[in-house]
A and B are shown apart, each in its own frame.
Chain A
Amino acid sequence: MDLEQYQETIEGYLENSLPPDERTLFEKEMAHNPDLKAEVMKHILANEAVGILIEDKIRANLEKVIAKDKAGQTITKDKKPVVRKLFTPMRIAAGIVLLITAVWVFSQFSGHSDNALTAKFYQEASTGTLLGAGSSDVTIEDGQTAMFKEKDLEKAISIFSNIPETDPNYLTAKYYLGHCLLQQNSYSEAANAFGMVYVTMDLPQFINREEVNWNWMLAKLGAGATEEAENTIDQILKNPEGAYFQKAKELEKSLTSIWR
């Protein structure tokens, strides 16, 4: 059977363009002719295949529209990013301001902490004539060398701590020990050392009792005995002629600062 002659009829049948009587005739023929039916099927499949090709293109076009729509939403969202873009430098600026503020606040707070104030108002040790050598193996001169020349506070503390009570320079050793401990932030021990010196009636001449009192107060402040330290400050402030009056005023101001 030559199916070539049927091509136009098949097309017409599938396109619904055959006149009704021709259509009926063709369907009858198809029902008795499996080859013709298969040929029609192949036509349908070929049309479907082309339809799929067209559909794919449409789908691709629709996907573009959907993508644009989503991008449009992104643009709407992008408007936020535009704002966000504006926000970004603002955020950075705000971050920097916050950081600076934090650092400043921190510095203010830390600058007004007991430890910071103790370090700030620390009064250095005086030096003077020693009262002759003791009998111990370690001498106060060794401690002085370690403290003032070598700047080795650990060593100096070790030496001053081992000066026996029998040593004529015992109080001087305690005085230097107090200074070393205060510089090492060992406030409680420093307070003990300065306290011992302060309450002693006969101090070596070079040791200034007011200075001992001042550093003792600082040691107490550093040790957290704020109330005791404030009492000492109050006492110092009662004497405007005193050597530590100005310092006491400054310290009081710092102690009453809002940053504490």
Chain B
Amino acid sequence: MKDDTIIAAMKAGGREQEKALSYIYHNEDYRKGVRYVVNNFRQLRSEDWEGIFHEGIVHLTKCLVMEKFRQETSLKNYFLGICRNKCREMVRKDKKTPPTLDLPPEDPDQVKSPLEIMLGEELKDMLRAAVKMMSKRCQEILQLKAMSYSMKEIAEELELSGERVAITYNSRCKQQLKNKLQENPNLLNILREYRWI
């Protein structure tokens, strides 16, 4: 399977995405590569490779879906870069070093926000809860927007009457989500703790 085919399948979602995921999951080159990357981290155990491999696939797919992969390198190298960062995160977690927002991205090819680095499971759960509180339609619009769909494409995909309607929906949904996030005092506390607000 060529990189372009994988990328297209990943973006398509559903069964196509499942096929692409299955391809990478079973690809011995990808597996060997991750084992090699993990072995280069003395702090990690060789059996950690599988967890890194799974998380790496999820992250890679997310980057592909959200069009963060700029195709400046091969998909496999990009994936191994992700896995390398996952290893660093794991080592950092083991050391219990508090994440900082100033933490430089180790791999410049990786599109990884400081917030993403900072995000612990607790914070993720808060965000997940907030987004799940929204209507299905809003969730779909925001997802498609995050997947770099144009407003015209979103309108077509969700059978809206036109691009303008999609823009309005998107704006409302985004605002709705921001309000929901703002309503969560725990979330705000965490952000204050890290001096983000």
A62 near B174 with CB under 8 A, answer: no
Binds A, one of B21-29, B30-38, B91-99: B21-29
Residues in B whose Cβ lies below 8 Å from that of A96: none
Any A CB within 8 A of the CB of B90: no
**Residue ID in chain A nearest B174 by CB atoms:** A46
Residues in B whose Cβ lies below 8 Å from that of A64: 18
Binds A, one of B40-48, B58-66, B80-88, B152-160: B58-66
Any A CB within 8 A of the CB of B124: yes
Q: Mark A19-54, 1 if CB is under 8 A from B, else 0.
A: 000000000000000100110011111111111111
Rounded to whole Å, the gap between the CB of A10 and the closest CB of chain B is 10
B54 near A66 with CB under 8 A, answer: yes
**Residue ID in chain B nearest A57 by CB atoms:** B13
**Known contacts A37-B197, A42-B178, A42-B181; A49 and B18 CB within 8 A of each other:** no
Any B CB within 8 A of the CB of A250: no
Q: Which of B22, B115, B139, B197 contacts A53 (CB 8 A)?
A: B139
Among residues 92 to 138 in chain B, which have CB atoms less than 8 Å away from a CB atom of chain A? 113, 115-116, 119, 124, 127-128, 130-132
Q: How far is the CA of A118 from the CA of B16 in the complex (A)?
A: 82
Residues in A whose Cβ lies below 8 Å from that of B59: 55
Any B CB within 8 A of the CB of A7: yes
Q: Mark A128-172, 1 if CB is under 8 A from B, else 0.
A: 000000000000000000000000000000000000000000000
Interface residues on A, range: 20 to 34
Q: Which of A38, A52, A65, A66 contacts B131 (CB 8 A)?
A: A52
Q: How far is the CA of A57 from the CA of B62 in the complex (A)?
A: 10
**Known contacts A41-B196, A48-B127, A68-B22; A55 and B191 CB within 8 A of each other:** no
**Known contacts A38-B197, A44-B113; A54 and B57 CB within 8 A of each other:** no
B181 near A58 with CB under 8 A, answer: no
The winner among A37, A62, A66, A69 for most chain B CB atoms within 10 A is A62
Any B CB within 8 A of the CB of A61: yes
B54 near A48 with CB under 8 A, answer: no
Q: Which of B26, B66, B146, B182 contacts A42 (CB 8 A)?
A: B182
Residues in A whose Cβ lies below 8 Å from that of B131: 49-50, 52-53
Any B CB within 8 A of the CB of A56: yes
A62 near B25 with CB under 8 A, answer: yes
The winner among B26, B65, B128, B131 for most chain A CB atoms within 10 A is B131
Q: Which of A45, A46, A56, A65 contacts B18 (CB 8 A)?
A: A65
Rounded to whole Å, the gap between the CB of B178 and the closest CB of chain A is 4
**Known contacts A51-B62, A62-B54, A69-B25; A46 and B143 CB within 8 A of each other:** no
B128 near A61 with CB under 8 A, answer: no
Any A CB within 8 A of the CB of B75: no
Rounded to whole Å, the gap between the CB of A128 and the closest CB of chain B is 93
B21 near A41 with CB under 8 A, answer: no
Rounded to whole Å, the gap between the CB of B51 and the closest CB of chain A is 12
A49 near B21 with CB under 8 A, answer: no
B18 near A59 with CB under 8 A, answer: no
**Known contacts A55-B58, A62-B21, A69-B25; A50 and B142 CB within 8 A of each other:** yes
Interface residues of A (CB under 8 A from B): 7, 34, 37-38, 41-59, 61-62, 64-66, 68-69
18 new A-B contacts, CB < 8 A, other than A50-B131, A53-B143, A65-B22, are A37-B197, A38-B197, A44-B115, A48-B113, A49-B181, A50-B139, A50-B142, A50-B143, A51-B62, A51-B116, A52-B131, A54-B143, A54-B146, A57-B13, A58-B17, A61-B61, A64-B18, A65-B25
Leading 7 A-B pairs by shortest Cβ distance:
A49-B127, A49-B131, A42-B178, A50-B146, A50-B142, A58-B61, A46-B177
Offer 11 A-B interface pairs, CB within 8 angstroms, sorted by A.
A41-B197, A45-B181, A45-B191, A46-B142, A46-B177, A50-B145, A54-B143, A58-B62, A58-B65, A61-B17, A69-B22
